[in-house]
Amino acid sequence: MWNVAFAELRKLRRPTLFLGTMGAVVFFSALFSSLLFLLIDSPDGNSDRGRTVSREVLGLATGGVQGFSSVGGFLGIIALCVFAAQTAQEYTYGTLRNLLIRQPGRLRILVGKFIAMKLFALVMIILSAVISISASVILAPRAKVSTDLWFGADGRHALFTSFINIVISVIGFGTIGMVLGLLLRSPISAISFGVLWLLIIENLLVAVKNSLQNWMPGAQLSAIASGGVPRGMSTGIEYSHALLVGGIYVAIGAGIASFLFMRRDVSN
């Protein structure tokens, strides 16, 4: 299993994949965090979907990780694409047969690949945290936002909590990507379906009937990344609900895909 993980890591560190992915993480982490402060007085809002995050909110202990939390859903989409492509291309290139010659245990191959891709996702998250928080610290004085509470005990707790939530969310998105890769066995099909569902179909369904937001898989995982909304609020998804429903989606999908991987022929 660990040999499979090390072999997969060699593939994941290819410059075209690694540098391209990390470059996108750096760019969007800096962009999302910067807009919070650069557009703080904009009447059109400074956060996603035109929402306004005020100076008072950014001055709280959670203000330092506000940008990091907002980029969590985007990191999940990147993880979905990477997990889906790295899983499905074994069928496209016919390399899965070669892997099974060296390691006949299919479940070991699946777990080893998953471990390697989780480590890749963890590097993404750590890099995003460094860039997002650094951008926030640099731009806070310009936006006249106090950072006194960011580095106290409550600020460190907020950072730790946000980091754990984003790790859970990104691994969930990545697992869905891996499931799509195993089911569709084509990188292009798996990525296209995943991104189309998350960015277009879910939003259309929620626009038609807002209550569907509480049952869409992408919405649950995005809510986990942002920490959900306080219990009792009328809009948004509560963290505990998102964790339960999102976990059910991921568990069922992983179970079905693992069963098919163990039973189906390895050719595409």
pLDDT of residue 170: 95
Flag whether 268 is in a domain.
no
Instruction: Give dist(CA 21, CA 15) in Å, integer.
Output: 9
φ and ψ at residue 229, rounded to 5 degrees: -115, 155
Q: What's the structural domain count of the chain?
A: 1
Q: Residues 87-130: pLDDT tens digits?
A: 988 887 777 777 777 777 788 888 888 999 999 999 999 999 99
What separation in angstroms does the CA of 136 have from each of 93, 124, 128? 43, 18, 12
Buried-state track 86-95, b at ≥16 Cβ within 10 A, e below 16 = bbbbbbbeee
pLDDT of residue 233: 44
Residue 10's SS3 state is helix
pLDDT of residue 262: 82
Asked whether 86 and 191 are in contact (CB, 8 A), the reply is no
Q: Residues 201-251: pLDDT tens digits?
A: 998 998 888 888 889 999 999 999 988 764 444 467 889 999 999 999 999
Residue 95, CA atoms < 13 Å, CB-side half-sphere = 11
Q: Residues 157-193: pLDDT tens digits?
A: 999 999 999 999 999 999 999 999 989 988 999 999 9
Q: Residues 44-80: pLDDT tens digits?
A: 777 776 677 888 888 898 888 988 988 988 999 999 9
pLDDT of residue 47: 75
Instruction: Give dist(CA 63, CA 158) in Å, integer.
Output: 9
Instruction: Give dist(CA 119, CA 12) in Å, integer.
Output: 10
Which of 10-14, 215-219, 258-262 is predicted least confidently?
258-262
pLDDT at 18 over 50: yes
**Encoded tokens for 259:** 């069963």
Structural domain including 20 reads 2-263
pLDDT at 266 over 80: no
Flag whether 252 is in a domain.
yes
- Mean pLDDT for 20-30 is 94
Flag whether 124 is in a domain.
yes
